[in-house]
Chains A and B, each alone.
Chain A
Amino acid sequence: MLDIALLCRGLVKRYADVTALDGLDLEVHAGECFGMLGPNGAGKTTTIEILQGLLQPDAGRVEVLGHAWRTHERELRQRMGTQLQETKLPDKLTVEEVVALFRSFYRRGKSVDQVLEEVQLLEKRGAWVSRLSGGQRQRLAVACALVSEPDVLFLDEPTTGLDPQSRRQMWGIIERFRSHGGTTLLTTHYMEEAEHLCDRVAIVDHGRVIALGTPRQLIESLGAEHVVEFAIDNDVLVPDEVYLDLSGVQGVAHDDGKTRLTASHVHLVIPDLMRVLERRGATLDQLTTHHATLEDVFLSLTGRHLRDG
């Protein structure tokens, strides 16, 4: 009943000394916004480039919109839109000229004006690319991807390095594409981006998918939706069992000199925690609490932070 727009089965890709993909499986449904989340070097870009027919996998099967690259390359190129991580668009062309150049490669698509309006670059149409801000350049790259009215949109870290406002603008563009029925595969290492945009998320590490689900499901897999994080100032050691006995605490983790408790009810945990620590003569250095995020999921799965690479 759900159409599969993108399919990877057992993808393997090796470079001279590293295995970038180690049997990666992925299914993206038509019309969904799917996020690949993972640290640098996890294999996100390699996967996205194989899906776009730019790289050949060493093993495994790929289908895009139900077709293989080998047999349907011409058609698939017409039906996908892309933004690559490292592309620098021509500096000396105007915004309008760049979009018109890309538009000319496709049989069908929108007018240049239409797509510039969509990415809010209409008033910059006559400006040289070299004069654009980082956010504007990135929106121009996405405009070049959207100008053909693609069925599938590939975005490789579309908001990396952007300020919060530019990031929100980009989110708006992606949400609009999705609301018109388009399928999006995006990679990111911003948890809040994946939580905000994606219907489903795959967490990728060392070339494999280690967790898959909606952002909600993944966070719930932690068993509790709050995280209490604190550090102890002196050398008092408190065994983990002590923390686990506190009401509502589901898990304990140690990271970078800090202790992290996942808990269902912050207001119950904190008074108990204070009492326990005082009894054992430990002084509290810092104490923070937040809603559990995908970052916490990644941390509990791998023991590492996403941004550590």
Chain B
Amino acid sequence: MTGSMRSWPIVHLTLWRVREFTREPEALFWVFAFPILLAFALGVAFKGRGPEVIRVAVEDGDGAAATAAALRISERLEPLVLDSAEAHNRLRTGKVALVVRPGEPVLLRYDSTRAESEMARMVVGDALQDAAGRREARVIAHETVAEPGARYIDFLIPGLLGLNIMGTGMWGVGFGIVKNRSQKLLKRFMASPMQRSQYLLSFVLARLVFLGLEVVAVLLFGHLVFGVPLRGSVFSVAIIVVLGAMTFAGLGLLVASRSKTIEGVSGLMNLVMVPMWIFSGVFFAYSHFPDAVQMFARYLPLTALNDALRAVLLDGAPLVAVAGLLAILLLWASVGFGVALKIFRWE
């Protein structure tokens, strides 16, 4: 044999990991297609449209036609004249935001817990006052903006990126190791002169091979389709992404360090990941949670990763500005790898 790279165990072990992944079409779907489909669906669903048209019902009776005409002057309202029973039926089922009963005084019926109804109350109120000849006490000018970086899709893309890095890191490492253990391959390797460190390193290297592709796919999609800004430097993004990937590879290793069955490791995996799906600000900001929960959420590795990604991608923050977040990631990575190597079951 020559001493070329082709005979190095680490090359063969890493190639094995890469092949195992690329020869599994389902895995390719979940890693590459799924986050993009999710981003597309959510991006379209919450796309910043013009002011929405609000449907309201006007109860049929005296003055109904005049009231409806007054409401129609406002571009934002779509009044429907309906008999009382039908109007309330539609209110109950959410097909109209509010019911107007003409008369003196005009009665507005709505559910105050629905954001849409609150909006309807204000717009209908204004329209009726204007129609009755109200004069503004103070003239207010309006200017609306839709700045890239402040929309929901801008919030979402970095979150999805973080979520994907967590998922692929934990599954890629954890699942692969437990599979090898349950197939008694680990034991077979132990009978050979293979070095344990090289086996573990191959999982990390294989992660790095795919990480670049995963990240570029999601960011490019967000940028090209939705105009999500990419303000930070490529170097900063790369550092954060690699550190994040290592953190979750370490946690994946920890979760897999003793499990003997795929079922066992899947349960642990969900136990670790589901709280982060909820608390780490992937789909909505964790600032909605009570203070105590926020304290907890802030120290989760995915929260640190998402916050760092958002700061750098959306605000163009330098690495120094996210040093604290990177420290949290580094801490989790050390704990993951450190404990995993101590308790790892090779046999």
Q: Which residues of A contact B (CB under 8 A)?
A: 52-54, 74, 77-78, 80, 82, 84, 86-90, 92-93, 97, 100-106, 109, 111, 128
Whole-angstrom distance from the CB of A192 to the nearest CB of chain B?
28
Q: Once bound together, how far apart are the Cα atoms of A104 and B212, in whole Å?
A: 27
Task: Tell me which residues across on chain B come within 8 A of A84, comparing CB atoms.
Answer: 184, 187-188, 191
Q: Once bound together, how far apart are the Cα atoms of A106 and B192, in whole Å?
A: 8
> A108 — nearest CB in chain B belongs to which residue?
B1
Q: Once bound together, how far apart are the Cα atoms of A115 and B184, in whole Å?
A: 23
Task: Tell me which residues across on chain A come within 8 A of B347, comparing CB atoms.
Answer: 54
Q: Once bound together, how far apart are the Cα atoms of A78 and B9, in whole Å?
A: 14
Given contacts A74-B193, A82-B188, A87-B188, A105 and B20 within 8 Å (CB-CB): no
Whole-angstrom distance from the CB of B290 to the nearest CB of chain A?
47
The 10 closest A-B pairs by CB, nearest first: A88-B183, A77-B193, A104-B9, A104-B12, A87-B188, A86-B184, A92-B23, A105-B194, A82-B191, A101-B12
- Contacts A88-B185, A104-B7, A105-B194 aside, 13 further interface pairs with beta carbons under 8 A come to A52-B191, A54-B187, A78-B193, A84-B184, A84-B188, A88-B183, A90-B20, A90-B185, A92-B19, A92-B24, A101-B16, A104-B8, A105-B189
Whole-angstrom distance from the CB of B193 to the nearest CB of chain A?
4
Q: Once bound together, how far apart are the Cα atoms of A90 and B15, in whole Å?
A: 12
A102 close to B23 (CB less than 8 A): no
B191 close to A77 (CB less than 8 A): yes
> A53 — nearest CB in chain B belongs to which residue?
B191
Specify the main secondary structure of chain B where it touches its partner: helix
Which of A74, A82, A101 gathers the greatest number of chain B CB atoms within 10 Å? A101
Task: Tell me which residues across on chain B come within 8 A of A80, comparing CB atoms.
Answer: 191
Task: Tell me which residues across on chain B come within 8 A of A101, comparing CB atoms.
Answer: 9, 12-13, 16
Task: Tell me which residues across on chain B come within 8 A of A105, comparing CB atoms.
Answer: 9, 189, 192-194
> B189 — nearest CB in chain A belongs to which residue?
A105
Q: Once bound together, how far apart are the Cα atoms of A54 and B9, in whole Å?
A: 21
B28 within 8 A of partner (CB)? no
> B346 — nearest CB in chain A belongs to which residue?
A54
Q: Once bound together, how far apart are the Cα atoms of A103 and B194, in whole Å?
A: 10
B73 within 8 A of partner (CB)? no
> A74 — nearest CB in chain B belongs to which residue?
B193
B190 within 8 A of partner (CB)? yes
Q: Once bound together, how far apart are the Cα atoms of A106 and B191, in whole Å?
A: 12
Q: Once bound together, how far apart are the Cα atoms of A239 and B23, in whole Å?
A: 69
Q: Once bound together, how far apart are the Cα atoms of A109 and B185, in whole Å?
A: 21
B44 within 8 A of partner (CB)? no
Within 8 Å by CB of A87, from B23, B24, B185, lies B185
Which of A102, A104, A109 gathers the greatest number of chain B CB atoms within 10 Å? A104
Q: Once bound together, how far apart are the Cα atoms of A90 and B188, in whole Å?
A: 12
Q: Once bound together, how far apart are the Cα atoms of A173 and B96, in whole Å?
A: 81
For this complex, 24 residue pairs linking A to B, each with C-beta atoms less than 8 Å apart, are A54-B187, A54-B347, A74-B193, A80-B191, A82-B192, A84-B184, A84-B187, A84-B188, A87-B185, A90-B20, A93-B16, A97-B12, A97-B15, A97-B16, A101-B9, A101-B12, A101-B16, A103-B7, A104-B11, A104-B13, A105-B9, A105-B189, A109-B1, A111-B1
> B194 — nearest CB in chain A belongs to which residue?
A105
Q: Once bound together, how far apart are the Cα atoms of A109 and B254, in whole Å?
A: 35
Task: Tell me which residues across on chain A come within 8 A of B184, comparing CB atoms.
Answer: 84, 86-88
Whole-angstrom distance from the CB of B93 to the nearest CB of chain A?
52
Which of B12, B183, B188, B194 gathers the greatest number of chain A CB atoms within 10 Å? B188
Task: Tell me which residues across on chain A come within 8 A of B194, comparing CB atoms.
Answer: 105
Task: Tell me which residues across on chain B come within 8 A of A102, comparing CB atoms.
Answer: 192
Q: Once bound together, how far apart are the Cα atoms of A82 and B184, in whole Å?
A: 13
Q: Once bound together, how far apart are the Cα atoms of A25 and B191, in whole Å?
A: 22
Q: Once bound together, how far apart are the Cα atoms of A87 and B190, in whole Å?
A: 12
> A83 — nearest CB in chain B belongs to which residue?
B188
B185 close to A89 (CB less than 8 A): yes
Whole-angstrom distance from the CB of A39 to the nearest CB of chain B?
22
Q: Once bound together, how far apart are the Cα atoms of A80 and B191, in whole Å?
A: 8
Whole-angstrom distance from the CB of A142 to the nearest CB of chain B?
12
